[in-house]
Amino acid sequence: MLDHDATPGHTPAHLWAVGVVSLLWNSFGCVDYTMSKLDPVAYMQSVGMGEAEIAYTQALPAWLSAFWALGVWGSLAGSVLLLLRSRHAVTAFAVSLLGLAVTQIYNLFDSTVPESMNLGAMLVMNLVIWASLLFLLWYALRMKGRGVLR
């Protein structure tokens, strides 16, 4: 529940809770991205990916990897900026949403995506990522509108 009586500039307690939870949540995406770049085979095997998924992920074009980076690092930046009460959290979450949208649309229309990457836990995780990012962008916009983010 948002504090509807918050005065402009006043930091409601829920901002700290949302900020810390989002920082922890978005850190997982950054770890996933970093490990996928530093030690891709060992990391992907450790999270249960098979040969087809690993081969597909390693063959992604560089431009798509750049959008993936925008998605994960934009979310992390948004979380930090939210905790710093910066209005730029909105921009960071919007950039992250762009990165997510481009990577998801590519995967949706790429006929070489292994079927296993669009089923079960992967599908649920994608829905959770979309929901959390849309919530964070909405939340940052609300806090900016109330004068909490400057």
Domain count, the chain: 1
Residue 121 lies in a domain: yes
Residue 3 lies in a domain: no
Residue 7 lies in a domain: no
Residue 122 lies in a domain: yes
Residue 64 lies in a domain: yes
Identify the residue with better confidence: 94 or 1.
94
Residue 45 lies in a domain: yes
Residue 25 lies in a domain: yes
Long-range contacts of 125-133 (CB under 8 A, 24+ apart): 129/29, 129/100, 130/100, 130/104, 132/22, 132/25, 133/75, 133/93, 133/96, 133/97, 133/100
pLDDT score at 84: 98
Q: What are the pLDDT digits (tens) for 33-78?
A: 999 999 999 999 998 888 999 999 999 999 999 999 999 999 999 9
User: Residue 138 belongs to what domain range?
Assistant: 13-145
Residue 78 lies in a domain: yes
On average, the pLDDT of the chain sits at 92
Whole-prediction pTM: 0.89
User: How far is CA 53 from its chain centroid?
Assistant: 21
State yes or no: pLDDT of 104 exceeds 70.
yes
Q: What are the pLDDT digits (tens) for 7-16?
A: 555 899 999 9
